[in-house]
Amino acid sequence: MLQFTSQEMAAIRRRASQDIIEQIIADNQVVLNSETLVPPDARATWNLYYFCPTHGVRLNWDRNKPTEHVCPVDSEVLTGEPYDGAWWRWLNGLNSKACNDLGLLWQITEEKLYLEKVREILLAYAEYYPDYQEHGGIPYNGPGKANAQTLCEANCNIDFARGYDFIKDQLSFDEQAYIEQRLLREGAQFLMQHRADQLHNHEMKISATIGVIGLILNDQSLINFAVNTPYGLKYQLENGVKGEGLWFEGSIHYHYYALQALLNFEKMACKTEHSLQSEPNFHTMLAFPLKLLMNNGDFPRLNDCIAGQEKLTHSHLFEFAYREFNDPLFASALQNIYQRSPRNTIDALLYGVETLPGAEQLQCQSIHAEQSGVTIMHNRQYSNMLLVKHSPYGGEHDHYDRLGLIINRNGKEILPDLGTTGYGAELHYGYYKNTATHNTLAVNQQNQPPANPQVNQFVEANEYTWLDTQTDWCGEQPTVDSHTIVQWDDAAYKDVVFRRQILWLGDVAIEFDTVKNPHQQQLDLIWHIRGEHHTLSQAKSCDNPLDGPLARMTDSHEIPLHESIELSYEIEGQTNFNQQILTDSKATLLLGYAPDNPATSELAYTLLRCKDAMLKTTVVHNLTESDDIRVIGVEWGFDSINFTLLRNGLARSVYINQQTGVVLID
């Protein structure tokens, strides 16, 4: 066995608790308690089709009902494709996971029931695998054999390989040869044919699987392809980690997904000459996202992040990382993870140190990561937080929301980033992934083209933080060494310049937005609030004038905006959240409701609509739960902004030098 030495496995057996054994059994009940079932042909498609098209939630999977798929929200039964094919993909996932889990359980308990189940599954897939027909059609992805995309093929094959490693010594020579040739090597060669020449988390996963199979088969050609060739693991590490340490795709979920692939290989390779721990970005990639935790304990759902993937649950990474690097930061990550559950996990058993040291829990912190493109402003006293996304374009898993905002008040996300849902559900491309469903600027309700924002000024002082960011669509678009599909409108944004400046005072955030709109397109500055419009008495009911993602907006109202307006929103569990919006432009506010994530509840949308060639807008986000805060007398100079800030009737003069970022508050 390659994964663990005999001494390591003996120690694992001694330390394995009955709870862990029962956990592994429970996690694999479906496979253990059913006759081994393997698709005889290439009928399995994509697990991300297995989502309700109405609510965007995962369907209930039933081993005994391959043609009936139930929505957990309203119990609607969905039939036919794409759900039937996705059902079989789910089964492939359960089978491959069982190979790894039950192979380990065999090693721990030496009960032949688990050995035999792994043997049955591996031999069955080895029988069918060479004859599975390539099939696919999944956006951005290469084809699969047992599944419909190359990524899924890699995810299943690595678990087949690890399960095989656990039981190899109990198989006959003929059985070993049969599985190695018809399943493992066949799978590795297929993956080699379809690994794309691009930076991508998929290619990390694919390379890791090829590398693990190469290690198990002691095949140097497979290992070299996985590790050392262009777009292999080393290349991805060197070129895919940007700036301060964020994976180029800009999604914290996919950052960890790529890292998971790297550690899948490293857990096998760490005792060999093929270890990658000395690569500079290895530790950086582990450490950096921990600085981006919000004050609700979650990561921001930047870019593609399905609801639930924003949680810090990565014990499978940090148990191994702490053992290898002895970094207190990773002990703190584990401290956060285990505050919700005991440290009685498989990851701790296999890869963790026996006793973790005392460590402080990770906390939200202010950070300005200019190259990675994330700025967080945090006030610990009031537990308020604001995040600005000014990251460079990240390719497939990016969302088109340059200079987008997230605001948390008293630890509650009230101007959220929604992330997304299963990619096979209509709501993914039809709603969540679009510019108009983010707190940013949309032009003609179309998606922003790729852009790399710039930071003009960032100043952090005792009383305030000032961030001045800008993005434009005036010249050549940035590109990324990763496959993309055009899902934006170049003509709508041609020559538009969007500048967003934030003055952060801890319990109030004042947002200054300027938009140069030389072709006088329809501009929409958008804010969506996790709450309800408190009163619409000043608004007139209207038909929804929007198309695209927000054509589904309901209860539409409009208000002509004359210089200044104050809006209030009811927030569950808190007092009302208040905004003030000021502009000298001819503008209209459009109010309504559209889906939250999951789509079982709604958000309150506010859109400021304008066609002026120059739009200047000030927005006051009052993050107190009691104070009356307003702004009056906003004056935009050539290189300055002046206004009076009123707090409970008391006036303070504020002068902002836009050239230096110096703010004077009297």
Q: Write the pLDDT tens digit of every residue in 1-24.
A: 999 999 999 999 999 999 999 999
pLDDT given for residue 562 in this prediction: 87
DSSP letter string, 103-140: HHHHHHH--HHHHHHHHHHHHHHHHHGGGPPPB---TT
Task: Report the b/e string of 398-436 with b at 16+ CB within 10 A.
Answer: bbbbbbbbbbbbbebbbbbbbbbbbbbbebbbbbbbbbb
Which residue stretches of 228-339 are H helix?
233-240, 252-269, 280-287, 315-325, 328-337
**C-alpha–C-alpha distance, residues 110 and 103, integer Å:** 10
Q: Is 80 exceeded by the pLDDT of residue 168?
A: yes
Q: What share of the chain is helix, strand, coil (3-state, %, to 5)?
A: 35, 25, 40
pLDDT given for residue 234 in this prediction: 98
**C-alpha–C-alpha distance, residues 187 and 202, integer Å:** 16
What tokens does 571 get? 């927030």
Mean pLDDT of the region 123-134: 98
Q: Is 80 exceeded by the pLDDT of residue 108?
A: yes
Q: Is 80 exceeded by the pLDDT of residue 536?
A: no
Task: Compute φ and ψ for 118, nearest 5 degrees.
Answer: -65, -45
Mean pLDDT of the region 541-564: 96
Distances (CA, A) of 302 to 123, 356, 575: 42, 31, 27
C-alpha closest to that of 107 among 215, 4, 217 = 4
pLDDT given for residue 537 in this prediction: 77
Domains of the chain, by residue range, sit at 367-665
Roughly what angle, to the nearest 10 degrees, separates helices 201-217 and 220-227? 160
Report the 3 state secondary structure along 546-604: CCHHHHHCEEEEEEEEEEEEEEEEECCCCCCEEEEEEEEEEEEEEEEEEECCCCCCEEE
SS3 489: coil
Percentage above 90 pLDDT, the chain: 96
Report the 3 state secondary structure along 308-329: CCCCCCCHHHHHHHHHHHCCHH
Mean pLDDT of the region 321-340: 96
What tokens does 531 get? 């709450």
Task: Compute φ and ψ for 599, nearest 5 degrees.
Answer: -80, 20
Q: Is the peptide bond before 39 cis (omega within 30 degrees of 0)?
A: no
Q: 25 falls in which pLDDT band (50, 70, 90)?
A: very high
Which H/E stretch holds residue 305?
A: none
pLDDT digits (tens, 9 = 90+) for 409-424: 999 999 999 999 999 8
pLDDT given for residue 307 in this prediction: 87
Q: Which amino acid is at 57?
A: V
Q: Is 90 exceeded by the pLDDT of residue 528?
A: yes
pLDDT digits (tens, 9 = 90+) for 489-527: 999 999 999 999 999 999 999 999 999 999 999 999 999
**C-alpha–C-alpha distance, residues 531 and 211, integer Å:** 48
CATH topology of domain 367-665: Beta-galactosidase; Chain A, domain 5 (2.70.98)
pLDDT given for residue 341 in this prediction: 85
Percentage above 70 pLDDT, the chain: 100
Q: Are residues 423 and 528 in contact, defined by beta-carbon separation less than 8 angstroms?
A: no
**C-alpha–C-alpha distance, residues 55 and 72, integer Å:** 9
**C-alpha–C-alpha distance, residues 478 and 175, integer Å:** 52
Q: Which residues contact 574 (CB under 8 A, 6 or more apart)?
A: 409, 410, 412, 414, 625
C-alpha closest to that of 214 among 292, 156, 269 = 269
Q: Is 90 exceeded by the pLDDT of residue 474?
A: yes
C-alpha closest to that of 384 among 499, 470, 502, 302 = 502
Distances (CA, A) of 650 to 619, 628, 631: 19, 10, 11
pLDDT digits (tens, 9 = 90+) for 555-593: 999 999 989 999 999 999 999 999 999 999 999 999 999
Q: Are residues 164 and 99 in contact, defined by beta-carbon separation less than 8 angstroms?
A: yes
Mean pLDDT of the region 607-632: 97
**C-alpha–C-alpha distance, residues 85 and 47, integer Å:** 8
In a 10 Å sphere around its CB, with 0-12 CB exposed, 13-18 middle and 19+ buried, how is residue 493 labelled? buried
- In the predicted model, what is the mean pLDDT of the chain? 96
Characterize the bridge pairing of strands 465-472 and 384-389.
Answer: unpaired
pTM over 0.85: yes
pLDDT digits (tens, 9 = 90+) for 374-393: 999 999 999 999 999 999 99
CA contacts within 13 A on the Cβ side of 237:
26
C-alpha closest to that of 333 among 406, 256, 391, 264 = 256
Residue 650 pairs with which residues in a beta bridge?
Answer: 647
pLDDT given for residue 140 in this prediction: 84
pLDDT given for residue 540 in this prediction: 94
pLDDT given for residue 340 in this prediction: 81
